Structure 1
Amino acid sequence: MVMWVFGYGSLIWKAGFPFDESVVCFIRGYRRVFHQGSTDHRGTPEYPGRTVTLEPAEGEVCYLEAREKQYDKKVYLDVFAELTATTPAISGVMVYIASPDKDVNTNYLGPASVEEIARQIIRAEGPSGPNTDYLFQLEKALLQIGCQDKHVMDLANEVRRILSEQK
Structure 2
Amino acid sequence: MTFFDVVADPGEEMTYTVFGYGSLIFKPPPHVISEVHGFLKGYVRRFAQKSHDHRGTPDKPGRVVTLIHKEEWNAFSGLDAFPDEDIVWGIAYTIDPAYEKEVRDYLDYREKDGYTLETVDVWGLNAKGEESITLHGVRCYVGRNDNPSFIGSEPLDALAQKIWESGGPSGPNKEYLYNLVEAVRKLAPESHDSHLYALER
* Structures share fold, TM-score greater than 0.5: yes
* TM-score bracket, shorter-length normalisation: 0.7 to 0.9
Show the counterpart of 1:114: 156
Show the counterpart of 2:136: 91
Distance in 1 of aligned mates of 2:24 and 2:115: 17
Q: Is the CA contact (8 Å cut-off) linking 2:54 and 2:169 kept in structure 1?
A: yes
**What does residue range 18-167 of structure 1 map to in structure 2 within 5 Å?**
18-57=31-70, 61-65=87-91, 67-82=110-125, 84-85=130-131, 87-101=132-146, 105-146=147-188, 147-157=191-201
Distance in 2 of aligned mates of 1:29 and 1:89: 16
Deviations 1:66-109 (A, max 9, x none): 63111332111111112732x410000001111111xxx22111
Say which structure, 1 or 2, has more relative contact order (CA 8 Å, 6+ apart): 2
Deviation at 1:11? 0.3
Show the counterpart of 1:9: 22
User: Cα RMSD (Å) of the superposition?
Assistant: 1.7
Deviations 1:31-71 (A, max 9, x none): 10000000000000111110000011166531114631113
Task: Give every structure 1 segment of 4 or more consecutive aligned residues whose post-TM-superposition deviation is greater than 4 Å.
Answer: none
Deviation at 1:18? 2.1
SS state at 2:35 partner:
coil
Deviation at 1:17? 1.7
Q: What's the TM-score, normalizing by structure 2?
A: 0.71
Report the structure number with the largest CA radius of gyration: 2
Letter of the structure 2 residue corresponding to residue 30 of structure 1: Y
> Which has the higher mean CA deviation after the structures are superposed, 36-45 or 56-65?
56-65
Deviation at 1:116? 0.7
Letter of the structure 2 residue corresponding to residue 106 of structure 1: P
Consecutive unaligned residues of structure 2, counting only runs of 5 or more, are 1-13, 72-83, 92-106
Q: Is the CA contact (8 Å cut-off) linking 1:71 and 1:96 kept in structure 2?
A: no
Q: What's the TM-score, normalizing by structure 1?
A: 0.85
